[in-house]
Every structure is written in C-alpha cells, then in structure tokens.
Amino acid sequence: MTDPYKTLGIPQNATDEEVKRAYRELAKKYHPDNYVDNPLADLAQEKMKEINEAYDTITRMRRGGGSGQAGYSSGYGGYSYQSGTDYSAIRQAIQSGNLQYAEELLNASQTRDAEWNFLMGSLNYRKGWLDDARSFFQRACNMNPSNMEYRQALNTVSQTNSPYRQTGYGPPAQNGGFDMCDMCTAMMCMNMMCNGCR
Amino acid sequence: MFGYVTPDLPELKLKEYQRFRALYCGLCHELGLRYGLPGRMILNYDFVFLAALLWDGDVPCGYRMRRCAVHPVCRRCVCESSPALTTAAGYSLILAYRKAEDGVEDSRGARRLGARAARVALGRPYRRAAAAYPDFDRQVSDRLRLLKDLENGGCESIDETADQFARLLASASGGVTGNAQRPLSELLYHVGRIVYIADAYADLAEDRKKGEYNPVAARFGVADGKPDEETRQAVLATLMSSSRLAAAAFELMPESRWTPICENIVYLGIPKMIREVTDGTYRAKNRGLPKEPEKNIRRNGE
C-alpha cells in the first residue's frame, strides 16, 4: 500500500489542519465536476478514490484506530442526469466513452430538438471539438432557454477565463513564503546573469 | 510546430528558469549530436515542452557546463542526454521535414525555395529519425495529408481541421506506457488544437493578402482579414476551453522533476499566449529566444 501522506503530498508530521487543507485542495482539483464529459473522468475518479482512502487512513490512524470520517467521499459517483426516454441510451454511450455508437444513434434520430442538440454538443465536447460543441449547446439553449443543464454546458464552453491553478508557488508550509530576503537574492542573481554573460 | 508553447517567464522561479534553459540547450545539443547542424536549426520551444512531458519521473537529470557556436565564450548549463530528449529531438525532426515537404508543394516564390532547401538539408537526418520512430512518422504523414485535403476542400469547421493536427501531436504520446499515456495524449491533443487555431487566427491578415485558405476565416466568415468582436470572443472561448481541458489532463499526469515548469506553461504560458493572440498583441518576434527575466521586466515597464 502506498504511503497516505505521500498521496496527499504532506510530511508525516503535518498538523491535522494541514492534512485537512491538503485533502481539500486535492479533492477540489480532482472533483468530478471538473471532469464532466471528460474522456479522463475515470482516471480522475480513481485519483479521487486514492485521496479519499489516504485521508481516511490518516484520520483513522490519528484517532487511534477508530473509524475514520469519510470526507468528501460520498455522493461523488455517477453524475446524474434527468433522463429523457429516447435519449438515455445515447447519454449512457457518451458517458461511457462509446462515442462512435452515440454518434450513430444521434445521426439516426429523426428529431432535432433541444435535447438532441445538447447531446450532440456533449459528444463534440468529449471529442475535444469545442467550437462545434458551443454551436450545438447554443442551439439547445435557444430551443429551451429554461433548461439549466443546457445553460451550464453552454457556459462551460463560452468562458474565456484561464484554467484555475490551486497551487501557486507551492504550499507555504514548505518554503515559508516569499519575503524581502528572497527578493534581494533574486535581484542579485539577475544582476549576475546580466553582467556575467553578456 | 510554431513555437507558441512557452512558459510565462516572469512568473517562473529563477531556479526553474535556469533549469528550463538547460533543457532547451540540452535539446539543441541532442539535435546536434544526432542530426548535425541542420537538426539544430529546427530547435523550438514546443518540443522543449514535449521533452519535459516525456521525461519519466525516475530518470535522473545530469547537468554539464558546455560551450556551443551560439555561446562560444560563456559556458552554459546544459542537460545531459536522456531518453526524453532523444525522443523529442527525433519527433521534432520528423515534423520539420514533413512540413518542409508540404511547403515545397504548397507555397510559391521565396518560401518555396526555403522549403526546398530545408527539405534537402533535413533529408538525411530525417531518414535516420524516421527509421527510429516509424509509427510517429506514419502518423505525421497521414495526418498532414488528411489536413491538406480538408484545407484544399475549404473545410468550414475549425474543429475538423484542428482535429487532424491535434491528433498528430497526441500521437507523440505513443511511446509512453502505463498510467501517463492517456492524460498525456489528451493534453497534447488540446495543445495541438490550441496551436493550430491560434496560428490560424494570427495569420488571418496574411492569408487574406495571399488569398490562401484560413480555417478561422472559413468558419466565421472573416472578410477583410480583421476579425470582428464576436469572432474574437468565439475563438478566445474555444481556445480557453481547450486550455482548461489541457490543465485537467495535466493534473492526472504523474509527477516529475519538470512538473513546476510544465505547470507554468499549462496554467500561465498557454493562456497568456491565447490572450495575446486574440488581442492582436502577440508578436512574431516573441517566438525567438526567451528574453531573460530582467529584460522582460524592462519591456513590461515595471
């Protein structure tokens, strides 16, 4: 079994608070919400499981063998959709990564309603064809403006913000932050490079 | 490729900057060692990133101080050869040669002459690289051919054209085994998609002048070479979505000694490049050697 502390990226002597913080950050990073319709969702789920297990193990060990508290673990599994009768097979095919089958079903479908456009969008999103995905989601939203799921999907592909990085310059516990001294050393180093090599 | 994938240097720690430069020099020396001077001429940043990604966490990294033709007086710290550098060098050579081949067929005038010269110069090194990586060579030639068919047909979907280039790049993960393969393939897919679309967007005016096909113009109907605000927003959104997916894939890669640098590239360098390209502030000369941090500070007026 792997070292649970290593899984969470913290030293053995980390305080309970640090354990919790490390766990929360990792859980946020690998949260299934970040991997909706993502071809790597299963890997993220595995990672999530590892993190949960590591956290459970640590809390159990620290409480002297009592049953650990499962943090974020419950209720993360399958992402539940409200299922339409005709489309549930397609949804399942997209979710399980059987994209070719999903595409065949969608192309064979006679109707071109909001749900169809939404699923077409999801399929394209999963393939990485984000521009087409956006067009389909847009159409789904136009047809059914009140559906939150469609709107959320459209939002995801229309956002223009950069990926959000949880870890900045590494955890403060390890390098003690950025103070004036670091700044001075950095300036000195830069100066040396400036003069030495030109 | 095109040198679009670089770290955001001012945000890089000094020690990471030095290691990044050593990796850059390492790739150059590796190209020189295996493919001679013509190999060195094709050195570019995208493949330094690839070398960093291909680096197995367990493989140690040695550094040596070495001189070269560009830095004859002051020795530079250079990464010693490693499997990742060898692979990245081979892949970049194959891609450069295949692109030169395309250039001979497609372009006219001075460009064609240049492509022809590159094809001749890279011919022998290419054969060596192709013999070492036949799978990648086949992927590159297949994908570029399909891409050209789409471009000649005036394809109106940027996803369809970008998909070919993205898959080409994703196939660079073919030699990797184990847990890292799928995330790496996904990451490279989106990096390839970003590079292809960003390059098309940056070339809008130039392609318009020459009357050549441009995927962004074909998709959004950009008539005068100047995209309107709606087009700009759509391209920005699709590229940023790709960069978020690239970051999500990157988080599933195993840790290696290059993780901090790759993290900078994925979370800061690529989004910054996307912003600059869609703002029109991205300049071609940025594609050259990296500015040292202090020069960057001066240029930014800080």
Task: Look at A39 and B237 and tell me if their CB atoms are within 8 Å.
Answer: no
The yes-or-no verdict on residue B26 having pLDDT over 70 is yes
- d(Cα B62, Cα B84) in Å, to the nearest integer? 13
pLDDT band per the 50, 70, 90 thresholds, residue A75? very low
Burial B107-131 (b: 16+ CB within 10 A, else e): beeeeeeebeebbebbeebbeebbe
Is A137 inside any structural domain?
A: yes
Look at residue A168 in the predicted model and tell me its pLDDT.
47
**Considering chain B, what percentage of its residues have pLDDT values greater than 90?**
64
What is the rounded average pLDDT for all residues in chain B?
A: 88
Task: Look at B189 and A128 and tell me if their CB atoms are within 8 Å.
Answer: yes
pLDDT band per the 50, 70, 90 thresholds, residue A74? very low
Domain ends where: A32, A54, A75? A75
**Considering chain A, what percentage of its residues have pLDDT values greater than 70?**
71
* A192 and chain B in contact, CB less than 8 A: no
Is A36 inside any structural domain?
A: yes
The yes-or-no verdict on residue A154 having pLDDT over 50 is yes
Asked if residue A51 and residue A8 are part of one domain, the reply reads: yes
ipTM for this model: 0.72
Look at residue A78 in the predicted model and tell me its pLDDT.
35
CATH domain B9-290 topology:
Farnesyl Diphosphate Synthase (1.10.600)
Task: Look at B238 and A40 and tell me if their CB atoms are within 8 Å.
Answer: no
Is A57 inside any structural domain?
A: yes
Look at residue B59 in the predicted model and tell me its pLDDT.
87
Look at residue A163 in the predicted model and tell me its pLDDT.
84
Asked if residue A146 and residue A102 are part of one domain, the reply reads: yes
The yes-or-no verdict on residue B41 having pLDDT over 60 is yes
H or E segment at B221? none
Look at residue A187 in the predicted model and tell me its pLDDT.
59
Which A positions 140-179 lie with beta carbon below 8 A of chain B? 156-163, 165, 167, 169-170
Asked if residue A144 and residue A106 are part of one domain, the reply reads: yes
Look at residue A87 in the predicted model and tell me its pLDDT.
83
**Considering chain B, what percentage of its residues have pLDDT values greater than 70?**
93
* A96 and chain B in contact, CB less than 8 A: no
The CA distance from B135 to the nearest CA of chain A, in Å, is 23
* Between B231 and A184, residue with greater pLDDT: B231
Is A189 inside any structural domain?
A: no
Nearest to B53 by CA among B183, B244, B193, B163: B183
- Most confident range (mean pLDDT) of A168-172, B55-59, B195-199 is B195-199
Look at residue B69 in the predicted model and tell me its pLDDT.
83
Q: Which of B182, B252, B273, B295 to mutate to test the interface with A (most CBs of A within 10 A)?
A: B252
CATH number at A48 reads 1.10.287.110
The yes-or-no verdict on residue A181 having pLDDT over 70 is no
CATH number at A141 reads 1.25.40.10
**Considering chain A, what percentage of its residues have pLDDT values greater than 90?**
15
Is A187 inside any structural domain?
A: no
Domain ends where: A141, A158, A175? A158
Q: Is B79 helix (H, G, I), strand (E, B) or coil?
A: strand
Rounded to a whole number, what is the distance in angstroms from the first to the last CA of chain B?
32
pLDDT band per the 50, 70, 90 thresholds, residue A84? very low
Residues of A in contact with B163 (CB under 8 A): 127-129
Q: Per-domain residue ranges for chain B?
A: 9-290
The yes-or-no verdict on residue B297 having pLDDT over 50 is no
Residues of B in contact with A178 (CB under 8 A): none
Residues in Cβ contact with B117 at an 8 Å cutoff, skipping those fewer than 6 apart? none
Mean pLDDT of A157-171: 68
For B249, name the nearest residue in chain A, comparing CA atoms only: A40
The CA distance from A157 to the nearest CA of chain B, in Å, is 6
* A64 and chain B in contact, CB less than 8 A: no
For A153, name the nearest residue in chain B, comparing CA atoms only: B241
Residue B193 · residue B168 · CB < 8 Å: no
Residues of A in contact with B158 (CB under 8 A): 131
The CB-based long-range contact list for B141-147 (8 Å cut-off, 24+ gap) reads B141/B98, B143/B167, B143/B168, B143/B171, B144/B98, B144/B99, B144/B102, B144/B168
The CA distance from B184 to the nearest CA of chain A, in Å, is 10
Task: Look at A156 and B242 and tell me if their CB atoms are within 8 Å.
Answer: no
Tokens 């007086």 belong to B73
The DSSP string of B254-290 is PP-TTHHHHHHIIIIIHHHHHHHHHHT---GGGGSSP
The CA distance from A40 to the nearest CA of chain B, in Å, is 7
Is A185 inside any structural domain?
A: no
Task: Look at A193 and B234 and tell me if their CB atoms are within 8 Å.
Answer: no
What is the rounded average pLDDT for all residues in chain A?
A: 76
* A2 and chain B in contact, CB less than 8 A: no
Nearest to A30 among B74, B249, B251 (CB): B251
Asked if residue A42 and residue A93 are part of one domain, the reply reads: no
pLDDT tens sequence across B73-131: 889 999 999 999 999 999 999 999 999 998 888 777 888 898 899 999 999 999 999 99
The yes-or-no verdict on residue B53 having pLDDT over 80 is yes
Asked if residue A36 and residue A9 are part of one domain, the reply reads: yes
pLDDT tens sequence across B165-211: 999 999 999 888 888 899 999 999 999 999 999 999 998 888 888 88
* A195 and chain B in contact, CB less than 8 A: no
Backbone angles phi, psi at B218, to 5 degrees: -65, -35
The yes-or-no verdict on residue B287 having pLDDT over 80 is no
Mean pLDDT of A165-178: 44
Look at residue B183 in the predicted model and tell me its pLDDT.
94
Is A99 inside any structural domain?
A: yes
Look at residue A188 in the predicted model and tell me its pLDDT.
58
Residues of A in contact with B160 (CB under 8 A): 129
Nearest to A40 among B182, B243, B292 (CB): B182
pLDDT tens sequence across A13-70: 888 888 888 998 898 889 888 888 888 988 999 999 999 889 888 888 887 654 444 4
Task: Look at A38 and B160 and tell me if their CB atoms are within 8 Å.
Answer: no
For A44, name the nearest residue in chain B, comparing CA atoms only: B252
Residue A106 · residue A123 · CB < 8 Å: yes
Task: Look at A128 and B166 and tell me if their CB atoms are within 8 Å.
Answer: yes
- Residues spanned by the domain of A47: 4-75
The CA distance from B74 to the nearest CA of chain A, in Å, is 6
Residues of A in contact with B271 (CB under 8 A): 162-163
Give me the number of domains chain A comprises: 2
Nearest to B152 by CA among B165, B161, B141: B161
CB pairs under 8 A between A and B: 105
The yes-or-no verdict on residue A174 having pLDDT over 50 is no
* A180 and chain B in contact, CB less than 8 A: no
Is A150 inside any structural domain?
A: yes
Look at residue A69 in the predicted model and tell me its pLDDT.
41
pLDDT tens sequence across B130-157: 999 999 999 999 999 999 999 999 899 9
